[in-house]
């Protein structure tokens, strides 16, 4: 078989058309669960300002756990995309099978650590005892979905690596519909179920993650991908492969811990400002997630395409593909941000019918909209660095940027108790630093020749 034929199977081209074809399904797959978060926030906003605010804290904490899984699966995605570029189907299957075992072990360890650590963390960081009780009870339920989430993340990384990102939509759609149904049923006590309030949202999320995992496994089996990628040939846990995987993934895991951990510190500081600031910030976090969907999809596409191109031996095309994706991401961000600026009040009113809360959140929303424009570039460039496989560099960049972010948060929020819109100005600090550091590394050319 010629190298051209191999490229036609699993290799990617550096064209705008293929970028959009790969990113569009990822974008939709990310948008669907964001709609679930959106609905969850709307439901909890109807329960009260306290539940809405505490959902911000617990949501960010669970996001830290999920991003540890995402870091692990991203490390394996880099490896799988590289094997796809080399047309090594057996090697790709081995990474997937061993990765599933590694993901289960990781998730069980995280569950045990969380059950022990959460009361200590929230006991020291939260100033309100009612917020503490709600947060701990929520996380104690929510954490049981972690093994299913991490397996789903791995399968999503597999489908992205082989260029079948479209199937991500089906898993996300099933999970979102299930989550919305059980949110409504369990939060408010519908269809004969007890009204569980805030805890009902946690149970609904666990059920949704089980359905998500089942759907992704079902797609893999239904499409008979186990024949093309012989996963059942690798039944034993490969310690050496796991070590190689962790050498790529562990800097990403620590990187995401710093990244989302910084956001956790942000919300803890905001909790000290009062219930209104915390509730408004939870709404703003949800909006930030919605407007960033297209950008994050393009960033994931950039990660995969960079690794694939390097696997094909096309290192000279890497900076070109990153620049193309940056332009598409910025255009998307401009369109979304203009719409959000025009309809700011209308959008905020979806989350809460409290007019004072809407007016309070409005200046911060405008800050977030502007920060999104910088994010549209920096997250793509940063994922281009991730795709080169030099994850220690990613970690160094992340620590530097989060450090700057936390210094800003400490003085602006904790020490000076500034207005909320100035608190959210921390996003400018983080995304600008990320863009500068990532661009400098790519221009240096030190990523060339990195083997994974």
Tell me the three state secondary structure of residue 4: helix
Going by pLDDT thresholds of 50, 70 and 90, the confidence category of residue 14 is: low
Contacts of 170 (CB under 8 A, 6+ apart): 215, 219
User: What is the spatial distance between Cα 148 and Cα 68, in angstroms, rounded to a whole number?
Assistant: 14
Element (H or E) spanning 169, and its range?
Answer: helix 168-188
Q: Does residue 414 surpass a pLDDT of 50?
A: yes
Q: 281 burial class (0-12, 13-18, 19+ CB within 10 angstroms)?
A: buried
| CB contact burial 123-153 (16+ within 10 A = b; e otherwise) | eebbebeebbebbbebbebbbbbbbbbbbbb
Contacts of 38 (CB under 8 A, 6+ apart): 286, 290, 350
User: What is the spatial distance between Cα 241 and Cα 104, in angstroms, rounded to a whole number?
Assistant: 16
User: What is the spatial distance between Cα 438 and Cα 436, in angstroms, rounded to a whole number?
Assistant: 6
Going by pLDDT thresholds of 50, 70 and 90, the confidence category of residue 3 is: very low
Going by pLDDT thresholds of 50, 70 and 90, the confidence category of residue 2 is: very low
**Residue 446 CB neighbour total at 10 angstroms:** 12
pLDDT for residue 314: 79
Task: List the one residue out of 102, 89, 14 whose CA is nearest residue 384.
Answer: 14
Task: List the one residue out of 430, 136, 408 whose CA is nearest residue 288.
Answer: 430
pLDDT for residue 213: 95
Total-model pTM: 0.75
Going by pLDDT thresholds of 50, 70 and 90, the confidence category of residue 4 is: very low
């Amino acid at each position: 078989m010629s190298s051209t034929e191999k490229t036609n199977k699993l290799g990617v081209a550096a064209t705008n058309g293929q970028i959009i074809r790969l990113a569009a399904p990822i974008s939709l797959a990310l948008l669907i669960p964001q709609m679930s978060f959106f609905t969850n926030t709307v439901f909890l906003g109807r329960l009260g300002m306290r539940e809405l605010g505490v959902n911000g804290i617990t949501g960010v904490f669970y996001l830290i756990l999920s991003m540890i899984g995402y870091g692990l699966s991203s490390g394996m995605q880099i490896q799988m995309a590289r094997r796809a570029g080399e047309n090594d189907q057996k090697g790709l299957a081995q990474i997937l099978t061993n990765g599933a075992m590694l993901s289960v072990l990781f998730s069980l360890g995280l569950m045990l650590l969380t059950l022990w650590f959460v009361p200590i963390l929230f006991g020291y960081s939260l100033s309100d005892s009612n917020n503490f009780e709600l947060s701990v009870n929520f996380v104690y339920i929510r954490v049981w979905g972690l093994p299913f989430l991490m397996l789903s993340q791995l399968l999503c990384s597999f489908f992205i690596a082989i260029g079948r990102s479209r199937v991500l939509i089906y898993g996300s759609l099933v999970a979102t519909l299930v989550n919305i149904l059980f949110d409504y049923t369990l939060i408010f006590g519908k269809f004969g179920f007890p009204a569980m309030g805030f805890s009902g949202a946690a149970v609904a999320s666990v059920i949704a993650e089980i359905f998500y995992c089942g759907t992704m496994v079902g797609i893999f089996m239904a499409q008979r991908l186990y024949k093309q990628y012989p996963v059942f040939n690798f039944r034993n846990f490969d310690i050496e492969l796991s070590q190689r995987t962790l050498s790529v993934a562990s800097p990403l895991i620590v990187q995401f811990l710093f990244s989302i951990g910084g956001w956790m510190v942000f919300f803890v500081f905001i909790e000290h400002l009062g219930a209104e600031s915390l509730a408004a910030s939870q709404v703003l976090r949800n909006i930030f997630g919605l407007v960033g969907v297209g950008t994050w999809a393009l960033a994931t596409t950039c990660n995969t395409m960079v690794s694939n191109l390097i696997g094909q031996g096309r290192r000279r095309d890497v900076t070109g593909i990153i620049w193309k994706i940056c332009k598409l991401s910025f255009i998307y961000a401009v369109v979304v941000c203009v719409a959000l600026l025009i309809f700011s009040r209308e959008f905020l009113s979806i989350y809460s019918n409290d007019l004072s809360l809407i007016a309070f959140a409005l200046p911060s929303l405008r800050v977030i909209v502007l920060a999104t424009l910088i994010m549209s570039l920096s997250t793509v460039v940063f994922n281009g660095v991730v795709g080169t496989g030099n994850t220690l560099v990613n970690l160094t960049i992340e620590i530097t940027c989060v450090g700057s972010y936390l210094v800003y948060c400490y003085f602006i929020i904790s020490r000076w108790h500034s207005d909320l819109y100035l608190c959210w100005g921390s996003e400018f600090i983080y995304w600008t630093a990320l863009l500068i550091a990532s661009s400098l590394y790519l221009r240096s050319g030190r990523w060339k020749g990195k083997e994974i």
